[in-house]
A and B are shown apart, each in its own frame.
Chain A
């Protein structure tokens, strides 16, 4: 697409309008009073320097990529201890097995066909004050045709908190805050694990849906992240409301064009503002309108996929690049915290 030319036209037009908008400060009080309506901050810090995970295990990081994760927000966990993870593994294994075969008596510790493994994900944090991320996996033992026993991971989920400390004030003692939970696997397992965590740590899970406003943020911010390889088209999917049958519009932009457009829009160093995000989307909308005479601003943005990650408004995420994992998780942590507050 020709990025520079429609961009300029809209920039001039939007500039007059934006001049009258004052910038809201992001004090905690201001944020909270507007939370009822899913208020988002007017500016966000630009992505931190890539790959800060100095002690990360590359195998585990690779495991997180290219999988469809369902997003949840979780309230702080009461009396969770990193030292007791072995014990939690045992209890949760028994719980899952019991739920799977309800009615039969169970003994803790005996050989089960289902095993739950707790581990920490090193390096998945923004600052030192963030709690270490936890990975929970369910492995099921199956007999192969040759008679050997084989362990296969059937479900995995992880809790994390990236740069959450600035947003989380007053978390009482005894609580550990890992507000973002991502699950991959059968939903029955997610429900069982959720129940156990709720009972054991007195926390509450809820699905993290992402509003079109925040999707626009992701489209803009992720376009700005530079990738060296595997660049794929930036694709935006819009759902058209008010018609009987479902109609989706897919809008794909060559990654270099999207990047060039974002570079002309973005001018504040170190942060991204709401105005820039609006302008970026308006440029794309006006370009589309010029060709197809459709106002995309009248439709609802439901999915964004870029070279970095793809995310659906239902709360499904797929991360494609490990380099910007922290940046992606930082924004999602913020949204999860906004949801639980």
Chain B
């Protein structure tokens, strides 16, 4: 199984799955814990990966992935390259609203190792929103977790009348300069 697909499995009733991809494992774990602490009325499963593709052997027990979040730390060029390579293993249907990029580390400009125009370009090329956040700060981590949960609900089809594609086109219009 080399490509993650959004519609190859049946959804499970009242549950949703989110996949966090990034090389900064500490931040990833912290964000996952914050998401789990939030109050929610559906079952959530969080999958963590440093890169894609996901291993094939456990694929049969993995639920359908509803939202993929790529965590880009602009202080690590390695992490950025890794995400660029991982994107090749995502099915094109995912980019109809079920992918977003979390960009961290922008606050300390003199630590930036990745050109910001390259990050913006990634968002443009893959038609997916960029969310800028400093996950080290607890307040921002909580609000980001809430935001991701809301997006996940939409992507999993739990919000009547709003589809992932509809939502992402709403996001795009505000992003375009």
Contacts and interface: CB of A to CB of B under 8 A. Distances in A.
A39 B116 CA distance: 6
Nearest to A216: B113
A213 B76 contact: no
A251 to B, nearest CB: 15
A155 B84 CA distance: 49
Among B23, B77, B81, B116, find the residue whose CB has the most chain A CB atoms closer than 10 A.
B77
B78 A297 contact: yes
Interface in B106-127: 106, 109-118, 120-121, 125
Contacts of A33: 177
B79 A298 contact: yes
A195 interface: no
A24 to B, nearest CB: 6
A17 B115 contact: no
B172 to A, nearest CB: 18
B-side interface size class: 20 to 34
A298 B116 contact: no
Nearest to B109: A38
Contacts of B110: 38, 209-211, 313
Interface string B127-163: 0000000000000000000000000000000000000
A37 B112 contact: yes
Nearest to A20: B125
B26 interface: yes
B75 interface: yes
Contacts of A17: 84
Given A33-B177, A211-B111, A297 B116 contact: no
A24 B117 contact: yes
A301 B114 CA distance: 12
B134 to A, nearest CB: 13
A213 B79 contact: no
Contacts of B75: 241, 300
Contact of A297 (B24, B81, B117, B118): B81
Interface in B67-111: 75-79, 81, 84, 106, 109-111
B106 A37 contact: yes
Nearest to B24: A242
Given A39-B117, A242-B26, A298 B76 contact: yes
B78 A295 contact: yes
Given A37-B109, A211-B109, A298-B23, A274 B115 contact: yes
B84 to A, nearest CB: 7
A39 B117 CA distance: 7
A20 B88 CA distance: 14
Contacts of A297: 76-78, 81, 113
Interface string A204-220: 00000111110000000
Given A20-B125, A300-B111, 13 more contacts: A24-B117, A34-B117, A34-B120, A38-B109, A39-B115, A209-B109, A209-B110, A211-B109, A211-B110, A297-B78, A298-B23, A298-B78, A313-B110
7 closest A-B pairs by beta carbon, nearest first, are: A298-B78, A209-B110, A37-B116, A297-B78, A38-B109, A297-B77, A212-B113
